[in-house]
Amino acid sequence: MTDMSDTRVITASANHSLMLKWTWRELWQGQLWPVAVALTLIIACVFALAALVVRVEKVMVAQGRSMIAADLVLRASNPISPDLIAQAQRQGLVISRQTRFGTMAFSDSAMQLVSVKSVEGNFPLRGELSLKTPTGMHHQVLPGELWLDERLFGLLNVKPGDSLAIGDAELVVSGTIVQEPELSFNPFSQMPAVMIHADDLARTGAIQPGSRVSYRAYFNGADNQLAALQQAVTLTPDQRWISETTQGRTGDMLDKARQYLSLTLILVILMAAATLVLTCLHYVSTRTETVAMMKSLGASKRWLWRWLARQLAMLFAVAATAGITLGWLLEYLLRVPLHDILPDPLPDMGWTPGVVSLLVAGLVALPGMGIALIRLVDAPAISVIQQQVDWPVQKRGYWLLVLPLAAALLWFGQNTLVWMTLAGLLVVLAVLAGLGVALVLLLKRGQWGPAMTLALSRISRSRMATGAQLAALTSSLMLLTVIWLLRSDLLADWQQTLPLDAPNVFALNISPEQREEYLSTLDAEGVIRSDIYPVIRGRLTHRNGEDLLAGEREEQDDALRRELNFTWRKAMPVHNTLMEGRWGEPGSVSVESGIAERLGIVLGDTLTFSVNSQPFTANVSSIREVEWRNMRPNFFFIFAPDVMETLPATWLVSYRVEDGQSALVNRLGRDFPTVTLLDLRTMATRIQGIMQQISLSLSVLAALGVISGLLLVLTLLRLSMAQRRQEIRLYRTLGASKKRIAATVWGEFGIMALLAGVLAAAAAEVVVAALVKWGFELPVQGHPVIWLVVPVLSLLLVVVIIRSMLRDLLEPVRS
């Protein structure tokens, strides 16, 4: 009994070993390895992008809150009510207050208009304040201290330890403001900064009735506490909440980059899923006889499912291991270019990317492989002696589609960009199929040689199959083209909004008497500058007699809550685009398109404005498109000269200072002490660096998307060639020469590739235009080069596949 038991164990072990070897051989030699590659790509892409998105979102929230110096900020033009502060304290929030105003700073030999920030000792609540003294670094402002923007030391000719008059207060200069968390990109409200402690504010005596003062309250706490405070407080007309969701220029770029990451992820998953489905269908066709033979030898469906389950388990294990490893490496490559804008150490990505990537791969593989394998297990045993083209298949497998569809609904939710893309792809797929068949039928009417005639006859024999093949091939080429074009359009837009020659210094508050001398100095130094603009601050009050300020504060547009900067010109700025109307009619005003849309302003409307409490009107004669991110002087309203030129105004000019011209900025500050200089060189360099870094990450991702598309195209062509094996055998049996067969194959696939390339280029233009206009809100532009590149790429792929497979296809029938 013992010997028999040992024998059974040995036999079972041997059988198990043989089954594992068979499973492994079936995995890599039985057409399942492309499925493993497709699953690996899905897992790697989802892991990398999920990890990057988790990190970037955490960084964006942290950086966004650092840039406002708190979790939440209340900005007001009047002192903030003590009741509001008490309410915040009762909710357990940490509070810091700031008062900001403009005044003159006087040294023994100079004076300068400055922006004073009176802060409490715990400022900032988020981010870092760096203050430098001759003896070291400090990170908070104490009573009696005075900290200056670095540029003020040259303008006022002072050094640490010297006395400086801020209003009525004499304060000793403590050191330099090296870094403060709050950043503002409004050139019209910038002056060199001075920081003092809140205890010294009363000593300055600078705040008088009618003074322009801004008040801020900073709050830190849990999100639910902050939300409760916002709900409990009724804002007055001069108050406004500021949070990290108020995005600046870099936030806009990161947001669009994240949109691109998500969209590319979807397209890569679609292409990898298509590769998986096609490969599984081919696997079913190649293993039907094997399954039929095993059934004829007594194998049950249960045994067959165990046999397939071993293969699938081994396949998924290999794909999961390779995918997670490749995903980790890919995530590292994606964030290497972002090293300078990501904090050190990085936020922890947790287990989410790994779990999500495996879950997505499982949801994609379940219907993609399950439906095909159910068909394989249902193959009749008679197929071993008589090939069965089709056999009844149980419909239960199609219920597997419910799981990924339900997951997609939960995952994407109200993401209109994704749903718009998927719907567009379905429509394009149907159109491409019909258009491809129509073009083939049109070509068939022409006069061709025998090989080409046979090729066209072969293509048009089954319109449904031809349409499906053309649509699949065209769609795959289109998807990889879309990925690359979207990347190119995003980078082109960022480069256009902040070109390398963008202005990096603004000169404000230039008096009419200083205007010509200031411009002459810039021109003498060969500095690239903008036109000079007169600037007057005022408010829009009425449209066609309707009081625009009469509504609730929350319902008003932000442009109605504050004073705006007005200017006048005879000619439209070259960096603006006229959308409607005519420029410069007497008594007219040109309106920026965004505010016109928000406020319902149209051509012919009469607008009423107020400057220094003096009302005046102007008729809307034109609507302009303005790119606010290009760091050039831009305005909501530009008037005809006759409307405003009699009003007192100061002047504004922007210019670009190159490396080595720093002395010019200091000299202009000394020669024109009343002119406010806003030096944006550090900020502009930072933004351009971020653009370059993000562009590298997008390029890495786009390359991955293209690889996925190429894999799908190669799979399609490879499977199509494999399906020709039986037909080639028949042609040779009927006496067709190898040369004639080769010419027919070249003609058939050449036509398919050329048609697919042209249709893919056209479809990609349409899809990208729609995504760019309604998804990313960028200007639409054409891409003529893809009309050549995509068809050529398609033909090259066909050449590679045919040259690698045609000889093997002809080999079995050689005599």
What b/e readout covers 759-779, taking b as 16+ CB neighbours within 10 angstroms? bbbbbbbebbbebbeebbebe
Domain ranges of the chain: 1-29, 31-67+250-413, 69-243, 415-500+683-815, 505-679
- Exposure string for 712-725, b = 16+ CB within 10 A, e = fewer: bbbbbbbbbbbebe
Report the SS3 class of residue 529: strand
Buried b (16+ CB within 10 A) or exposed e, 727-743: ebeebbeeeeeeeebbb
Question: Which run of H or E residues covers position 101?
Answer: strand 94-106
pLDDT of residue 700: 66
User: Which of 109-113, 294-298, 387-391 is predicted least confidently?
Assistant: 387-391
Residue 336 has which token pair? 């290497």
Query: What are φ and ψ of residue 252, in 5° steps?
Result: -65, -45
Amino acid at 102: G
- pLDDT tens across 685-719, in order? 656 665 566 666 666 666 666 676 666 666 666 66
Helix/strand/coil (H/E/C) assignment for every residue in 185-211: CCHHHCCCEEEEEHHHHHHHCCCCCCC
Task: Please give the mean pLDDT across all residues of the chain.
Answer: 78
pLDDT in tens, 507-534: 888 888 999 999 999 998 888 888 899 9
- CB 115 within 8 Å of CB 194: yes
pLDDT tens digit string along 757-773?
Answer: 888 888 888 888 877 77
- The percent of residues above 70 in pLDDT, for the chain, comes to 73
Q: Return the residue matching tokens 């008062």.
A: 99
pLDDT at 127: 81
| Beta pairing, strands 637-639 & 564-568 | parallel
Cβ atoms of residues 534 and 568 within 8 Å: yes
pLDDT at residue 579, rounded to an integer:
92
CB atoms within 10 A of CB 753: 25
